[in-house]
Amino acid sequence: MVPKATAVAMLMAPSSRPRSRLRPARLLQAIDEATVIDVSSHVQIRRPRDEVGAYALNLDNARKWVANLSSLEWITPPPLTVRSRIGLVTELFGHRLEAAYEIVSLAPAERLVMRAERPFPIEVRYTLESITAASTHMAVRGRADPGGLLRLLTPMIADELRESYRDDLLRLKRILESERSGSAAY
């Protein structure tokens, strides 16, 4: 993927060769490559990885720490496994977005990867790593490829996702670190 600034610089640089009819195609390709969203956030949580994973990767807890999640519905029956499907309703810029996600990778207390095709292709990846026996590094990464008119909003969508991921992880950290005696009270 070519960074947006590099793509623009390449397109604006003077060329020693004559202009060709392919220049608009090159421009469209650079715009396409520059509009793929890839954002991430991470946090260190002072809890063992097994506890963080048991809470964070349990979808029944998602509405407690994912702020713009309005609802979650099982499309396939629980428990959560690879190929499970869930319906999520979220908010983006005050608009309701409905998406059916499929779980494509799941390792308890290690990772959860889910993908949706609508309203635009998106993959969300949660990963957990032990820092020490009592501390966990948790990261979330979202990759999306908005199409159509949404492509024009890519920078704003990326900013919104980045902020949302950061705030959600901080909320999760507060929840898990506020309970010192174990996970029973979550």
Q: Cβ contacts of residue 16 below 8 Å, gap of 6+?
A: none
- Per-residue confidence band for 67, with pLDDT thresholds at 50, 70 and 90: very high
Residues, the chain: 186
Classify the phi-psi angles of 142: left when phi > 0, otherwise alpha if psi is within -120 to 50, otherwise beta.
Answer: beta
Q: Is 23 helix (H, G, I), strand (E, B) or coil?
A: helix
pLDDT for the residue 65: 97
Task: Tell me how far apart the alpha carbons of residues 86 and 99 are, in angstroms, rounded to a whole number.
Answer: 8
Q: Residue 165 and residue 20: Cα distance in Å, rounded?
A: 43
All domains of the chain in start order, with CATH: 1-34 (no CATH), 37-185 (3.30.530.20)
Using the predicted structure, report yes or no on whether residue 4 has a pLDDT greater than 70: no
pTM of the model: 0.78
Name the token pair of 35. Answer: 């509009």
101-154 pLDDT, tens per residue?
A: 999 999 999 999 999 998 889 999 999 999 999 999 999 999 999 888 888 888
